[in-house]
Amino acid sequence: MSRLAARQSPLGTIAQTLPRLGRVLGNLRPTWHLDSLDALDDAFVARHAIRAILWDVDGTLTTFHGPEVAPPARRFLALCRHPGLRHAILSNAGEARYRELGTIFPEIPVLKGYRVAGEVAMRELRHGRDSWPAERVAEVVAGGGVPLRKPDGELVRAAANLLEVDLLGVVMVGDQYLTDIAGANLAGARSIKLAAIAPETLPPGIRAGQVVERLLYRLLHGRPIVEGEATPRVETR
């Protein structure tokens, strides 16, 4: 496994999460649990002054490594046409999937963050163009650059900056408490938790992880209350 692949694997997520596990566990509670993406309608967007949405992909918009938006997530296509609403893909995908996402979502920036010399640098794939040529990626990795992975709050903050939207107007939508929801909360953004699309397509390790995170959530917060609107909750520990 190459240095880049190792840092972008699920083990890379675990390695980045363990040093701040306590903070992550303290930020598992989403602003809203929605029963489906259909609940994120125009009225919801207006009522909560949502200006930008950061999207997880696998399990949220597609089946695992699926090549297109899955039928349960078709509402996403309408949201992309919503005037004044900005979007970006923020996935923990590895390099091959990252490039594939650029073909599935050509009109939306697909973002990856890297920690380079103590600073966060953002890479953007849009309209088939990668803002970093292959030589730049190789240079960053050779120089010790580390891909940032959810639940790193800095990744969400950097994405909001790139979209030029204040964090209070940003919502992260995803299917995992430990990555999507915790990352948004740690950044000071809002978050929406959805049930995973076609969980049977997820690898066994991810399915097992989702069982664990659901148990952790129940221990910490009780049974999730799925509703169209809930009292907003943002934790910035």
Cα separation of 178 and 213, whole Å? 7
The CATH number of 3-221 is 3.40.50.1000
Q: Kindly tell me if the per-residue pLDDT of 3 is higher than 90.
A: no
- For residue range 65-79, list pLDDT tens digits in order: 999 999 999 999 999
**Could you tell me the pTM of the whole model?**
0.88
Name the CA dihedral angle for 59, 63, 67, 72, rounded to a multiple of 10 degrees: -90
Please choose, from the candidates 97, 199, 221, the residue with its C-alpha nearest in 3D space to the C-alpha of residue 147: 97
Cα separation of 94 and 208, whole Å? 20
pLDDT at position 4 is 46
Mean pLDDT, to the nearest integer, of 29-48? 96
Share of the chain above pLDDT 90, in %: 78
Cis ω for the linkage preceding 30 (within 30 of 0): no
Cα separation of 92 and 215, whole Å? 22
* Average pLDDT along the chain: 89
Q: Kindly tell me if the per-residue pLDDT of 97 is higher than 90.
A: yes
Cβ proximity of 202 and 196 under 8 Å: yes
User: Taking CA 143 as the corner, what is the angle to CA 138 and CA 147, rounded to the nearest 5 degrees?
Assistant: 70
Cβ proximity of 143 and 112 under 8 Å: no
pLDDT at position 2 is 46
Instruction: Report in angstroms the alpha-carbon separations of 61 from 1, 27, 36, 175.
Output: 28, 23, 11, 9
pLDDT at position 118 is 87
Mean pLDDT, to the nearest integer, of 22-30? 92
Q: Kindly tell me if the per-residue pLDDT of 230 is higher than 90.
A: no
pLDDT band at 62 (very low <50, low <70, confident <90, very high): very high
Cα separation of 147 and 52, whole Å? 23
**Domain extents for the chain?**
3-221
- For residue range 170-228, list pLDDT tens digits in order: 999 999 999 999 999 999 999 999 999 999 999 999 999 999 999 999 999 999 998 65
Cα separation of 78 and 91, whole Å? 21
Q: Which of 39-44's residues contact partners 24+ apart within 8 Å by CB, and which partners?
A: 39/228, 40/75, 40/79, 40/173, 40/192, 41/75, 42/82, 44/228, 44/229
Cβ proximity of 88 and 111 under 8 Å: yes
